[in-house]
Amino acid sequence: MKQLPLVMVVEDDQEVQSIVDDALIDGGFEPAIMASGEEALGLLHANADKYRALLVDIHLRGKMDGWEIAKRARIIKPAFPVVYMTAANGHEWSSQGVPNSLLLPKPFAPAQLANAISSLLDDWRADSSTRDRRRSGACQNSSAKKHF
Mean pLDDT of 87-114: 92
Does residue 143 register a pLDDT over 90? no
* CATH number, domain containing residue 63: 3.40.50.2300
| Residue 122: per-residue pLDDT | 85
| Residue 130 lies inside a defined structural domain of this protein | yes
| Residue 30 lies inside a defined structural domain of this protein | yes
Binned at pLDDT 50, 70 and 90, residue 2 comes out as confident
| Residue 77 lies inside a defined structural domain of this protein | yes
**Per-residue pLDDT tens digits for 38-80:** 999 999 999 999 999 999 999 998 889 999 999 999 999 999 9
Three-class SS state of 85:
strand
- 90 — alpha (psi -120 to 50), left (phi > 0) or beta? alpha
Binned at pLDDT 50, 70 and 90, residue 90 comes out as confident
Binned at pLDDT 50, 70 and 90, residue 33 comes out as very high
Residues spanned by the domain of 38 = 6-136
